[in-house]
Structure formats: C-alpha cells, structure tokens
A and B are shown apart, each in its own frame.
Chain A
C-alpha cells in the first residue's frame, strides 16, 4: 500500500477503541473497610528473584504479626494491613511503571521500594511526584538519597558504616598488612561500596594494589583472579550478589589464592553461601546492617530481637538474615510512624517519619536530612566453623577475629 488508505484507518480506529475499552475494565474497586494498602513492587522472577523472595518473607511476617495483634492503630480505629505485590521481573523500567500503577490503580497508601539501590532510585521519582511515603528496605548507597527527595526513607545506613569498622579491625590486628585488592561488580550497590572501601583503605594507609570491576553476569573470573594473585595482596575485598561471590570464592580456591583477610559483601551473611562454598567459607569476613545475634528491646510490634527471630523461625523454619529482617523492619517502622501520627494523611506520616526517634528490634531508628537512616551500628562478622559469628561491635561480640583464609 502506498498511501494511508481509509480501510486501514478504520481498522486502526476500531482497534484502538476496543483496546481501551478492555483495558479500562481492569480497574480495582475501592474497598470501604479499614485497610491500609502497602505497595510492594518486587523482582519475583528473573535474576534477582532470590532476593525478591526474601523481601516477601519479611513483609508477610510483619503484615501477619500486625494483623494478629489487632491491626494498626490509626487514631481510635484499627486498620488491617494488606500488602499489594507486583512482579517487575528484575527489570528496572517495569519497577518504575509498577510503582506508578500501585499508586494510581491499586490506590496504595504507602509503598516499599523495589529491590536494590538502582531500582529504588529509579522508582523514588514516582513516589516523590505523588507524595507517597516510601520505605526502602534494601538500598544503602548514598547516591540513592542525594536527589533532595522528602518522601523516601530507608533501613540501611550508608556504606561507610560497613567498611570503616572493618578497616579499623584489620588495621589493628594486622599492622603489617599493606596491600588491598578490590574486585567489584559493575552495579550500583556493589560498585558504590567498593568505592567506599577504596576510600576507607586509603585513609588508613593501605595500598590499593588492584581495583577492577566485573560485568554483571560474568561467569568466569579467572583473568581478574589471576591478576589479583600476581599482586599478592594481604586483604581481598570482593563485592557482588550471592551468586557472584560464590563463584569468585570457588575460583579463588581453584587458582590457589590465599590471603590474610578475605571480605565479601553481600553474600556471606546468607546460609546459602556457606552451604555452597563449604570449607572455602572459613574465615571469610563480611559486614551487614543487622545480624540475628544483636539484642535490642524495641517498641515496635515485634518487640525484642529475640522475639523477632523466634517468630520468623516459627513461620519459615529457619533463622532470619538481614534481608528479611530489613523488610520486616520497614513495615514495623511504618507502623510506629502511623500510630504516632494517628492518621493516614501522607504528609503527616512523612513528617512523623522525619522526626522519628525510636528503638526497634532492628536497632535504633533515626533518619537524617536525606531520609537515610543514620542511627545503626552495623555488625561485622566472620564465618567460623561453618557459622557466622559477630566480631564487632563489642556489645554483641561472639568471637575473636581470625586471620588467614586459604
């Protein structure tokens, strides 16, 4: 056809009209009962799905616990918590789209961020535009919070709070250690924390002999590891997500690489890491924002940390790690803020959050001017005899730091 024929246009017009009619049917009816709807866009399928699932566990536990206790108190009414999940398939643009859908179609009151610093940053624009209080349970990098947004809050302190105490420990125990090698995944959080580690190390006089990035999805780290081996570092610091770190640790073993200290973020906190690497996990260090060994007497719906661990184990049959705890904490903090504000008005909730100072099972909660939490003391831990033990801070220290990773 050489021109825009009238028949073609008719078809087009009819089709467009039909499409819209059908799509408009899928609207959600607004319910009149007392429900707080919380939006949760998560990667339930795709490469990040293991992480997404952990978030679901954490959120569900909170919703269940809150509802069992009678619901969230808003003024003198009780509201049931309902979490609205949508799967963005580990695809960031979809996460942004879904964040908007949750607000405009599902009519949620508040939202949780998608997984990870990247998607959190992307979706935060949407919640800022609409003025929806949003809690990020998995985003620590400061770059996420430098937009001047007022509706975004989170549960992870900046990356330095992980690398600084760790660097102090290494510097203190190994005064003769000189060289550090850093291998980072080229992704928002892993790269950001590697950069921060670079600064922490340099500040203490370490020589960063190697600092390279690897592409997302790298399946073979032999070249990078060969170069690391040649540099003979005292301290190897690797970042990535659990699958990357398992692979790196294994290939380190294959290539016969050993060092005084091997630190990996963010895999060793999970039992899956220990299971997959076996004896290679011994003496690997890591840091995270929470550990089941911490002991706080919180004012939130979970109360003490021990109580949280118990409830988690009862529901899921295993010990929680910081990922699920963070998700539950996100919900618990929202609950505290709403109950304190006494209303579901979003602006008031936001203001309450901004000024909040409360102790929870997750730790002390206070947000800085960017919305990022500033009050945590992230534990440093090490894998000894197949389990994670806390070696810092001293209040909850379970064991001494051990040197030497084969």
Chain B
C-alpha cells in the first residue's frame, strides 16, 4: 500500500510536464528545490536539534562555485556536484569550529557566517563579479526543453535527498542524532561520538543544498551575492519543517509544498504585504501549531522541556 502511494506521487510528478505550462513547471521545480532545502535542514535542525541558520551559506557557496565552474567551461551537470562538494567541505570545516556551541550562540554564528560569506563574495570582484553579479552561459536549447530538463534534474536531486533522509532516519546515525537532541551530555556518556555525528549531520545539511544552489545558478543564469546568501533562505526551510513537522521524513516535504503554495497565493493577492503575511504565518505556527501539520493529524504531544 505504502509503495503504491509513493509510486503514485512519483508518477504524478513525472507526468506533470505533459499538461502543465512552463510557469507551472517552474513552480513545481521550485517546490522540489524547497523540499531539498527543508529536508537538508532537518538533518541538523530536526534530528539533532541544533538551530542552524546556515542554509543560506551553503546555498550561496554552491551557487557561486557551480557558477564559477560553468563560466570556466565545466559542463553544467558536473558543476552541480562541484557546488555540493564545496558546500560539504565548508560545512565540515565550519562544523568543527562551531558545533561545540549550543543554542543561541550556534544560531548566531550560523546566521553571521552567511553575511561574512556574502561580503567576501561581494568584494572578490575578479572571481565572482562582486556587486555586479555573475552571468552564466545560457543553454542554446528550446525553452520548453530547458524547463523540462531542469524540472527532471531537480526531481532527481529531491529523490536523492529523500532517500538520504529516510536512510539516516532508520539507521544508527538517526538514532544517535535524536539522542543528542534529547540530551547531548547523556548521549556522550553512553558512548555516542557526538562530534562525529553532529558534523555528519551538518555536512549532510550542506551537500544537497550546495547542489541545489549550483542548480539554481544554472537555472536563472544570473546570480548576485545578495540573492543567494539571503537570510530568508535560511529561515524558510525552518518554517517549512515546522509547518510539516520536524523529525519525520515526509514532514519537510509536506511543509515545502504547503509553504510554496501559500507563498504563491499570498504573492498574487497581497502585493505589498507578503513578508508580513509570512510573518503572521510563522507566529501562528509557533503559537498554535507547534507540532506541525502532521503533528496536528496525529495529535501528538510534543514536549517543550528540551535540554539547552
């Protein structure tokens, strides 16, 4: 039964390009991108309980490394893994430096890293184009074919992320991360190597996001530091996971779908007040729906007393 339903969703997504116009395709591609971001955040934020605002850093790094590779002749499909790799390496290094921080300090450190990266990219004009942005070579391909190419590529990336999340969730890594979330000191005492586990989660939260960033650069053909290092890129995945329910595998995807839908609706109807409505949504979410939508469905009671 489960497999059948999964197949149905997959088939639906695969078949969409047949009747959807380019705008719908673009929207769905965006939805899958958001899923990748929220699933990735879930590794470090949902499973391990570390409030990471580093998604923007990874996305931006992936976008720029992918873009710069492409500008220097690397073929597009290779540039994407390059983005993922760069982001992963950065996450490993950063993780070792700041994962010993807890709570607020960790959050701030990750928030600020994106700003620093943005400024570095902004200033390194020779390599990155600085404030003038970077243009990627456009594909000399028919527009419709292009839309579908990107659509299916993102689909592959999204599936990979889901599989990774599912795998981690079932295995020792997931168990260990959940222990860390509950009580890190206790986890340490029972023999879980928290540094390795946390760093792994952090790297996982970066690698797919980095690929997505490189993908994004190829997709829109032009990136600017302000766009790809934007702080909202770190906040939205968190909201999506909170919306869907953290710690599950489908939760983040659900959250991404609903979030994008809301975003589109809000954008069409509330011209000057999008951010405000998003804010309202966040407040409502935190106050009234702490377990996310799935939590609502199952009427789970989530405990607030977490170790800090």
Do any beta carbons of A and B sit within 8 angstroms of each other in the complex? yes
User: Does B149 interact with chain A (Cβ within 8 Å)?
Assistant: no
Give which listed residue, A16, A26, A91, A121, contacts B12 with CB less than 8 A.
A16
Question: Is A374 an interface residue, CB under 8 A from the partner?
Answer: no
Contact status B131-A191, CB under 8 Å: yes
Specify which chain B residues have a CB less than 8 angstroms from the CB of A188 in the assembled complex. 131-133
Is residue A276 within 8 Å, beta carbon to beta carbon, of the partner chain?
Answer: no
Closest beta carbon of chain B to A90's beta carbon, Å: 10
Q: Is the interface of B mostly helix, strand, loop or mixed?
A: helix
Contact B9 A9, beta carbon cutoff 8 Å:
yes
* Distance in angstroms between the alpha carbons of A186 and B22 in the assembled complex: 35
Given the known inter-chain contacts A6-B5, A9-B250, A44-B271, please indicate yes or no for A186 contacting B131, CB distance below 8 A.
Answer: yes
Stretch at the interface among B90-98, B195-203, B220-228: B220-228
Contacts of B12 in A (CB 8 A): 13, 16-17
Known: A4-B2, A23-B264, A104-B21. A12 touches B250 (CB 8 A): yes
Within 8 Å by CB of A147, from B123, B135, B272, lies B135
Contact with A along B212-231 (1 / 0, CB 8 A): 00000000111010110000
Decide if A100 touches B132 in the complex (CB within 8 Å).
no
Whether A4 lies near B131 (C-beta < 8 A) is no
Cα-based distance from A61 to B182 in the complex (angstroms): 64
Whether B143 contacts A96 by the Cβ 8 Å rule is no
Question: Which one of A125-133, A256-264, A325-333, A395-403 is at the B interface?
Answer: A125-133
Given A3-B166, A3-B169, A191-B130, A129 contacting B257 (CB threshold 8 A): no
In this assembly, does A72 line the interface, its C-beta being within 8 Å of a C-beta of chain B?
Answer: no
| C-alpha gap A147/B293 in the complex (Å) | 46
* B170 interface contact, C-beta 8 A: yes
Q: A87-B271, A104-B22, A215-B119 are in contact. Are A6 and B131 (CB under 8 A)?
A: no
- Interface-facing stretch out of B23-31, B77-85, B234-242, B279-287: B23-31
Q: In whole angstroms, how far apart are the Cα atoms of A323 and B122 in the complex?
A: 27
List chain A residues, Cβ under 8 A from B26.
97, 100
Residue in contact with A125 in the complex, picked from B132, B166, B222, B248, CB distance below 8 Å: B222
Closest to B294 in A: A8
Q: How large is the interface on A (under 10, 10 to 19, 20 to 34, 35 or more residues)?
A: 35 or more
- For B207, what are the chain A residues with a Cβ–Cβ distance below 8 Å? none
B8 at interface, CB cutoff 8 A: yes
Q: How many residues of B contact A (CB 8 A)?
A: 57
CB distance from A77 to the nearest CB of B (A): 28
Cβ-Cβ contact count across A and B, 8 Å cutoff: 146
Distance between Cα atoms of A216 and B123 in the complex (Å): 12
A96 adjacent to B220 (CB under 8 Å): yes
Chain B residue nearest to A187 (CB atoms) is B131
B139, chain A: closest CB distance, angstroms: 9
Q: Determine if A205 is an interface residue (Cβ-Cβ < 8 Å).
A: no
Quote the shortest CB–CB distance from B289 to chain A (angstroms): 15
Within 8 A of B (CB), among A169-188: 185-188
Q: A8-B250, A9-B2, A16-B12 are in contact. Are A92 and B257 (CB under 8 A)?
A: no
Contacts of A87 in B (CB 8 A): 271-272
Q: A2-B169, A100-B26 are in contact. Are A122 and B220 (CB under 8 A)?
A: yes
The smallest beta-carbon distance between B247 and chain A, in angstroms, is: 8
Query: Does A192 sit at the interface, judged by CB under 8 A?
Result: yes
- Cα distance A10–B257 when bound, in Å? 14
Chain A residues lying within 8 Å of B271, measured Cβ to Cβ, are 44-45, 87
Which residues of chain B are within 8 angstroms of A29 by Cβ–Cβ distance? none
B253 with A100: CB separation less than 8 A: no
- Which residue on chain B has the smallest CB distance to residue A3? B170
B222 and A96 contacting across the interface, CB-CB below 8 Å: yes
CB of A50 closer than 8 Å to a CB of B: no
Interface: A5 (CB within 8 A): yes
Most B C-beta atoms less than 10 A away, residue of A8, A13, A17, A121: A8
- Complex alpha-carbon distance, A11 and B132, angstroms: 44
B257 to chain A, nearest CB (A): 6
Tell me if A368 is interfacial: C-beta within 8 Å of chain B. Answer: no
CB distance from B216 to the nearest CB of A (A): 8
Scan residues 105-156 of chain A and give those whose CB is less than 8 A from a CB of chain B: 105, 117-118, 121-122, 125, 128-130, 141, 143, 147
Asked whether A4 and B166 contact (CB < 8 A) given A11-B294, A44-B271, A191-B132, the answer is: yes
Given A100-B26, A188-B131, verify A8-B169 contact (CB < 8 Å): no
Alpha-carbon separation in the docked complex, A378 to B216 (Å): 38
CB distance from B217 to the nearest CB of A (A): 11
**A20 at the binding interface (Cβ < 8 Å):** yes
Q: Of A23, A92, A118, A125, which is within 8 A of B24 by CB?
A: A23
Q: Which residue in chain A gives the minimum CB-CB distance to B267? A: A94
- The CA of A7 and the CA of B220, in the complex, are separated in Å by 36
A93 in the interface (beta carbon within 8 A):
yes
A227 at the interface (CB under 8 A from B): no
Name 30 interchain pairs, CB-CB below 8 A, sorted by A.
Answer: A1-B247, A1-B294, A3-B166, A5-B250, A6-B5, A8-B254, A10-B5, A11-B250, A11-B254, A11-B297, A15-B257, A15-B258, A20-B20, A23-B27, A24-B24, A89-B274, A93-B227, A96-B220, A96-B222, A97-B26, A117-B132, A121-B133, A121-B222, A129-B143, A186-B131, A187-B132, A191-B132, A192-B132, A216-B131, A216-B226
* Sample of 5 more A-B contacts, CB < 8 Å, known A3-B249, A4-B6, A17-B12: A3-B169, A4-B249, A185-B131, A188-B131, A216-B226
**Which 4 pairs from chain A and chain B are nearest by CB?**
A122-B222, A125-B221, A8-B250, A186-B131
